[in-house]
Structure 1
Amino acid sequence: MSMGNDPFAILTKLRPPYNVLVLLCATFALSLIGTIFFCFTNTINDAILSNMVIRNNSVAYDMWRRPSVQPLMKVYLFNYTNWEDVKERRAKRLHVEEVGPYVYSQQLERVNIKFDKDKLSYNERNDFRFLPEESKGAHFDQVNVPNLPLLGVISKAKDMQINGFAQMTLNTALNFGNHPDAFVKLPVHRFLWGYDDTIIDTAKPILSLQGKLNFKKFGLLVTKNGTVSERLTINTGEVDKDKMNIIQELDGREYLPYWSSRDCNSIEASDGTIFPPSMLDRNKTLYVLYTNLCRRLPFVYENLQLHSRFIADGVQLMRYRMPLDVFDDPAHNAANQCFCELDTGLCPPRGVINVTACAMGAPALASFPHFYLGDPMLREQVTGLKPNPELHKSYLDIHPTLGIALNGKSTLQLNIQVRKTPMYTSLSFLDDGLILPVAWIDMGVDELPETLRSLVYHGTYSTAAVQLGLTVICIISLIVSGICLFVLFVRRRQKPCATVKKITEAELKPQLS
């Protein structure tokens, strides 16, 4: 029998190619899912961010524990050139000359680390190294600066209202101490990192300071070198990436104990190095906790920056700046009312904030350098101050995808207030309430290690290229498979149906013979 006339063979040839049809349908469905997946989600970015979660023994953990970035700390001191003239009534106002900067590189290491589910507790250990080639001045430069231990002890004695015998004992100790005057002449490195002062040792038992002073020698920055006492607890982002590197506790407390409102006592902030990318919204305010200022400070979005370090790569960073009214008095910034004294309601002048609670009881205040944007009275009391708006800005430049602060600058000034009592005569030539500028500090990052630059580049372009490539492949596959399916179904509908001719017994007999 001839197969050419076999009706069953004819029917087989007319069947549609089901294996091709199944393949096209599967390709179309997968391409559709992939297109939606890559076009409307940030899958690749989320995968990278999951690798930035601080897990034990991970690459992100190693980078966090001992950062390769070494910020520069530039210290500018105010040298009081005529304080003896003011004391002898040969001059009416104190005059200062800014000296420095004295530049130090900072190596941060996080120690005493303990994991608890998605929380991580630690202390910080800083190592500052003097950079003479970057500095404008030598470590042994002599400067006339306010006698901070003396001013602090007298202020503390005034607050405690100690009895007459204790006052006489303390006054005798102050007069016969190794630094009895309102100002002291010291080498720069001694003033910053520690010098012997008998005032502190004498005042400890009288003013109940024993155990509250975590240093043996007094220095402006002595508590910042070595292991910092504050213990921080952050969220690792393991469970919720929107909370990554957000501070949860400070020394076991969820709120600060200093101010009059829950918001002002809040510690919900970053340490300024990493922010959850979900927070990087132009309409949202970022917060950075400054433990030495007893509070967190806000940063608001300003613009996009093409930074010089990344011009060749074309990486744009989001710049957030500290608001200019952050240190204003309540009359100019109502939100700052809670930073005034709780019992009296007294507020410091515009442009300064009281940080006594974080200075072991010393009457310390913080401001922008040279009292920039502060009450003009602050600059009239002491001559020689010259605010510079370009130099005295504070900002952060943050990668919009990774949430890493790649550039930034923080400029803050430390001041001390004169608080007099008739019992202690060493401050008699100074006005009560006078605010003396001591130093201002510029913290910033000048260089980034190659490993971090590579991470930034790949986090910006490699991930975008991979996501774009997969999106294009899915779209092309969707279009091609869709066209093929359309053509196949159209051809099937246009093809005439096959008719099967009924073969009679008479016609079948000749073929069987």
Structure 2
Amino acid sequence: MSCCSITCAKWTTLSLSVILLILGIVTVIKWNSLFHYFEMKELAVASENTEGFKMWKETPIPMYMEVYIFNWTNPDKVEKYETIKPSFVEMGPYTFYEHHIRENVVFNDNDTLTYFNKRTWKFLPDQSVGTLDEKITVLNPIVAIVGNLIKDEHYLVKRALNFFLEEKNENIAVTKTIGDLLFNGYDDPLINIAMKLNMSKIHLPFKKFGWFVDRNGSATYDGVYNMYTGNKDISKLGIITEWNYESQTSYYPDKCGLINGTSGELWYPPHSSEEISIFASDMCSNVKLHRNGSGYVHGIEGNCYEDLPTGVRNVSKCKFGAPAFISFPHFFLADPIYLNKVEGMRPDASKHATKLLIEPNTGLPLKVYAAFQLNLLLEQTEGIDVLSRINTTMMPCFWFVQKAELSDDLARLAKLMLMGGNLGTYTGYGFIGIGALLLLIYLIILKRSWRDSDQEKLIT
């Protein structure tokens, strides 16, 4: 009985040792690649069943938009005296909760899907400085837009517009509520007059004006997107291939008009990429971000990307001919000529730089801080009295920042994903360690059985 027990223990120990050693070696060699394969399959948006699709379909990360509007304090003096600079006081923030839902999603055969992006905003009074009902004086955008559209027309056309401006008591400044300037919109008689002029250059796509009018809750406003699902090639995940069924916009020439980059919310794993690109429909073009160090969110390290170009970007062709230009807030990093033309700008790198923190192995956005300013070029125009005595000036209208940061729940999930590869490897090494220990025990048992066998021979 004793001999049988020793024999059983010996072979059982050897068997377990071999099994654990083989299992450990295979786990160490294959685990990372297998885990990475299944991880990337889950991150892709190739079907409605993947975790990547569920997170992309309705953005789970809380997003906020803070809007700051520039109150124009001296329009009457600027209109009368060319030596007076426009002076502005920043108002806000007016904070909104922003939510994104993808609608009309269609999976295509070429590893892409087509969709609309529905965005909704809800005002958060507790996180705002001021209400949507308070009034503010700003540059009259309709005067600036229509004036720019007909600045090269015959003098008599400009005098006709001037007649309407005087009849309707239109000035270069207008006082409206914050709500009307942003989402509600307001009626302006000049819009109807501009339509009645029946000029080929004037195509105003709105019946009332507001910077975000008709956008809240609209699935079609941002256009239709086509993007890679990442199923066949995870390095293409989230990259926009077409916008409004075109691979290149007509607003910019050559490479400047190519549609590329992600929407900014879904990313391929960038690893050590020095440059990434976001397609912004509001600019009808891409925004390039450059790697600049790293940072941490909830203990997760990510690569930090910043937008580094200087000056302003002309988006007038993208905005129906309006003299619209995008810059950083307060003309941060822009040519000093813009700052010197106005009063009240206070550029600050800590508030006015765009930054994006991405986990390099999964492409998970950890933190987003996207800050941009919209400006209108107010040009001196002969024939239109309210524009004939002003200096040509880049007028700041408002700036906004979109904020998002990984929540605690998603951070825990992300940590599990990042630890998964290491856990498997460590488990493999654990199997090898236990297998080696059992092998050592087997050798000890084997040595003892040999010793007992030799002693029995001596006795006999």
Name the residue aligned to 1:92.
84
- Give the residue type in structure 1 aligned to 2:389: F
Tell me if 1:73 matches 2:65: yes
In structure 2, do the counterparts of structure 1 residues 481 and 360 end up closer, same or farther at CA, with 3 Å as the change threshold?
farther
User: Is residue 280–residue 287 contact of structure 2 (8 Å, CA) maintained in 1?
Assistant: yes
1:475 to 396, 415, 432: 432
Name the residue aligned to 1:106.
98
- Residue correspondence of structure 1 range 357-436 to structure 2 within 5 A: 357-432=317-392, 434-436=393-395
2:147 to 142, 154, 157: 154
Q: Which moved more, 1:62-71 or 1:182-191?
A: 62-71
- Give the residue type in structure 2 aligned to 1:53: A
Displacement after TM superposition at 1:105 (Å): 1.0
Unaligned regions of 5+ residues in structure 1, if any?
1-16, 328-350, 492-513
- Give the residue type in structure 1 aligned to 2:52: A
Name the residue aligned to 1:301.
291
2:397 to 393, 417, 438: 438
User: Is residue 24–residue 432 contact of structure 2 (8 Å, CA) maintained in 1?
Assistant: yes
**Alpha-carbon distance between aligned partners in 1 of 2:50 and 2:13, rounded to the nearest angstrom:** 46
Name the residue aligned to 2:208.
217
Q: Which moved more, 1:465-474 or 1:415-424?
A: 465-474
**Alpha-carbon distance between aligned partners in 1 of 2:294 and 2:224, rounded to the nearest angstrom:** 34
**Alpha-carbon distance between aligned partners in 2 of 1:209 and 1:280, rounded to the nearest angstrom:** 47
Name the residue aligned to 1:10.
none
Could you say what secondary structure the match of 1:320 adopts?
A: strand
Tell me if 1:274 matches 2:257: no
Could you say what secondary structure the match of 1:402 adopts?
A: coil
Could you say what secondary structure the match of 2:92 adopts?
A: strand
Tell me if 1:457 matches 2:410: no
**Alpha-carbon distance between aligned partners in 2 of 1:315 and 1:134, rounded to the nearest angstrom:** 27
Name the residue aligned to 1:140.
133
Could you say what secondary structure the match of 2:254 adopts?
A: coil
Name the residue aligned to 2:167.
176
**Alpha-carbon distance between aligned partners in 1 of 2:53 and 2:160, rounded to the nearest angstrom:** 53
1:186 to 154, 176, 180: 176
In structure 2, do the counterparts of structure 1 residues 131 and 21 end up closer, same or farther at CA, with 3 Å as the change threshold?
closer
Tell me if 1:124 matches 2:117: yes
Displacement after TM superposition at 1:109 (Å): 1.4
**Alpha-carbon distance between aligned partners in 2 of 1:213 and 1:470, rounded to the nearest angstrom:** 64
User: Is residue 21–residue 432 contact of structure 2 (8 Å, CA) maintained in 1?
Assistant: no
In structure 2, do the counterparts of structure 1 residues 482 and 127 end up closer, same or farther at CA, with 3 Å as the change threshold?
same
- Give the residue type in structure 1 aligned to 2:186: Y
In structure 2, do the counterparts of structure 1 residues 21 and 409 end up closer, same or farther at CA, with 3 Å as the change threshold?
closer
Q: Could you list the per-position Cα deviations for residues 429-471 of structure 1 after superposition, in whole angstroms to 9, with x for gaps in the alignment? A: 2113x1111111111126x54542332232233x145323432
Name the residue aligned to 1:321.
306
Displacement after TM superposition at 1:420 (Å): 3.7
User: Is residue 145–residue 323 contact of structure 2 (8 Å, CA) maintained in 1?
Assistant: yes
**Alpha-carbon distance between aligned partners in 2 of 1:405 and 1:390, rounded to the nearest angstrom:** 20
User: Is residue 78–residue 439 contact of structure 1 (8 Å, CA) maintained in 2?
Assistant: yes
**Alpha-carbon distance between aligned partners in 2 of 1:436 and 1:459, rounded to the nearest angstrom:** 47
In structure 2, do the counterparts of structure 1 residues 209 and 73 end up closer, same or farther at CA, with 3 Å as the change threshold?
farther
Q: Which moved more, 1:111-120 or 1:298-307?
A: 298-307
- Give the residue type in structure 2 aligned to 1:457: K
User: Is residue 369–residue 392 contact of structure 1 (8 Å, CA) maintained in 2?
Assistant: yes
Q: Could you list the per-position Cα deviations for residues 295-318 of structure 1 after superposition, in whole angstroms to 9, with x for gaps in the alignment? A: 2112222223233xx1xxx32222
**Alpha-carbon distance between aligned partners in 2 of 1:470 and 1:240, rounded to the nearest angstrom:** 29
Displacement after TM superposition at 1:165 (Å): 6.2
In structure 2, do the counterparts of structure 1 residues 129 and 488 end up closer, same or farther at CA, with 3 Å as the change threshold?
same
Tell me if 1:46 matches 2:37: yes
Name the residue aligned to 1:337.
none
User: Is residue 171–residue 424 contact of structure 1 (8 Å, CA) maintained in 2?
Assistant: yes
- Give the residue type in structure 2 aligned to 1:443: Q
- Give the residue type in structure 2 aligned to 1:254: S
Of structures 1 and 2, the one with the larger relative CO (CA 8 A, separation 6+) is 2
Aligned length: 438
Q: Could you list the per-position Cα deviations for residues 209-267 of structure 1 after superposition, in whole angstroms to 9, with x for gaps in the alignment? A: 78x544332111225423224211111112211111111111111123233332x2232
- Give the residue type in structure 1 aligned to 2:107: F
Tell me if 1:258 matches 2:251: yes
User: Is residue 395–residue 410 contact of structure 1 (8 Å, CA) maintained in 2?
Assistant: yes
Unaligned regions of 5+ residues in structure 2, if any?
1-9, 449-460
Q: Could you list the per-position Cα deviations for residues 165-211 of structure 1 after superposition, in whole angstroms to 9, with x for gaps in the alignment? A: 6545444333333x61111111111111211112222212523478x
Displacement after TM superposition at 1:477 (Å): 5.9
User: Is residue 267–residue 296 contact of structure 1 (8 Å, CA) maintained in 2?
Assistant: yes
